[in-house]
Amino acid sequence: MPSALQKELRQTRPFTSLEQEASLSVERTAAVLRHAIAEALRAFGITPAQYNVLRILRGAGEGGLCRHEVADRLVTQVPDVTRLLDRMEEGGLVVRERSAEDRRLVSTRVTSQGLALLDRIDEPMARLHERQLAHLTPEQLRTLIDLLALARQRE
């Protein structure tokens, strides 16, 4: 009997292994969730990567973070964090400053404009996440979170 993923993808042949099916299922689920997030953020004029950076910098506080620290904390890796930060700085969402003590260090902080944008986005995004996963019980959500964390440990 075909699995739920086989039916969703209209795949007639079985997967080569449970590992393959699990991996593809994670990818498919991420793509579905990510698409809805991108659509919601489009209304605010930013991308999911920009939203992620704004949240990271808000959490970092007044001191901000250097480019490498931002890159390390991104949920989805982007090929050129410098260019991403350039665009965000041009849009007034972040500001970068060189360290007076060590000119090699450049700290990036979220601006008041970036914080105001996050304030407008927070509630709609919380509602979106609820709509996306409200059909799961809290216990199922905890199990999902734990299993995904366990899967990431083998990389």
Name the residue ranges covered by the structural domains of the chain.
4-10+17-152
**Cβ neighbourhood burial of 21 (10 Å; 0-12, 13-18, 19+):** middle
**What CATH topology corresponds to 4-10+17-152?**
Arc Repressor Mutant, subunit A (1.10.10)
Distances, alpha carbon 32 to alpha carbons 3, 26, 75, 88, in Å: 18, 10, 16, 26
What pLDDT sits at residue 155?
57
For the entire predicted model, the pTM comes to: 0.86
What pLDDT sits at residue 4?
84
- Give me the residues of the chain with pLDDT under 70, please: 99-100, 103, 155
